[in-house]
Every structure is written in C-alpha cells, then in structure tokens.
Chain A
C-alpha cells in the first residue's frame, strides 16, 4: 500500500530565505508520480510541482524545486527566496501508474514565513 510521510507538522522560515519541506514515500511500484500541492488559508489546492519516477533530473518550477532521491524514496520540496505569500499548508502526494490510480496525500506541513 502507498504511504506518504511528512514528518514536519510545522515549519518557520525567514522571508527571503530558502526552506526544505520533507517527504518520504513507500511504494512497490516502479512507475509513479510525485506531487506537491499548496493549500492557502482560502482552502483551494494549488499544484506546485511534479516529478516522475523515471525522470533523471530534479523538477524545477520557478522558486520551487524537488529534491528527488529515488533510492531513499524521498521527494523534498525546496522553496527558495521565501515570500510572505508562501505561508500555507503544503502536501506531498503520490500516484502509482499501474496500481490504484488515485492520488494519496501526506499529512501536510504548515509553513509560516516570518517578515
């Protein structure tokens, strides 16, 4: 069964600094996708970044990058140059290709950016 673990319930970062949000996963499938979503206080789920299990390069999207270490089964999100608007809940998720096709989420990390 899939399992997504986010060990940091809450994180604080100073504005303009970088922060890493941890995510580890467990799967027996070889083909899967890893996702990060942001959920601000307004509640909507905002897609941030995606990494495929066969992608050799770490994914990057603007200030977001995904530190993918396949052997360790980790997919940490790095946010560079934090902004006040980055304060939100962040969820790591995984979706297997050939097993169930739904997306499973971690418990989330609440990030607070300090001015």
Chain B
C-alpha cells in the first residue's frame, strides 16, 4: 500500500542547471499538489494539478518553474536554470476527492525532495 512517492529524495544541482522532481500519487488519487518549504519556514502552496490539467498555479513563480501531471506517469515539477534561492524542500501531496468527504486523511504527503543548488 504505497503512499505518495517522491524522487529523488535529495538532489544537488549547480546554478544554471535544470532540476526535475517526480511525484507518484497514491493509487487511485488524481489530484496532486506541490508545496515548497524554505529553511525554517512553513509550506508554501505552488500548484494544484489533476490529470493533464493545471487547476491552480497561483503559487508558482512566473519564470523557470513548470509542473505537469500527464495521463500516464508521475507528476513532474521542473525548475530550469536553478539559482541558489531555489534550494528548498519540495513536497508533493495527493488526494482522491475534490469536495466534501473532508477528513484528515483526504490529503497525503510524500516525504519530500530536498534540492540544493551550489
């Protein structure tokens, strides 16, 4: 009964390189959320996706960041031309339902991907 799987857990990139973070939601979940956590800060919402659709990207930086959730395969958060300020933990979460059925179990987090830009 696999939970939300994120990889890689740790990623080191030089400035200017690209970073790709992957997230496989829980089985049966079609809603994926990405969050960023800077050191000593809370989680900041980045983007909410359903299969093949971006529903809300209000938290995404306007440049260099993109996200997708294809019909097949994991969700990808892509950061182009990384800078030191992109160093953070990136958390993915998934849920099965959109409305109602609210309980604490409706959204599940992965263990996070730690990006370090050197």
Contacts and interface: CB of A to CB of B under 8 A. Distances in A.
Interface of A: 6, 33, 35, 37, 43-45, 47-50, 52, 91, 93, 95, 97-98, 100-108
A93 B56 CA distance: 18
Nearest to B99: A97
A44 B100 contact: no
Contacts of B112: 43-45
Contacts of A48: 104
B104 A100 contact: no
Given A47-B105, A50-B104, A97-B99, A104 B41 contact: no
B104 A35 contact: yes
Nearest to A1: B58
Contacts of A43: 89, 111-112, 114
A49 B33 contact: no
B45 interface: yes
Contacts of A95: 102, 107
B118 interface: no
B97 to A, nearest CB: 9
Contact of A52 (B44, B56, B102, B107): B102
A100 B46 CA distance: 12
B33 A102 contact: yes
A91 B43 contact: yes
- The residue in A50, A101, A105, A107 that gathers the most chain B C-beta atoms within 10 A of its C-beta is A101
Nearest to B47: A102
B93 A103 contact: yes
Given A47-B105, A50-B103, A106 B42 contact: yes
A45 B109 contact: yes
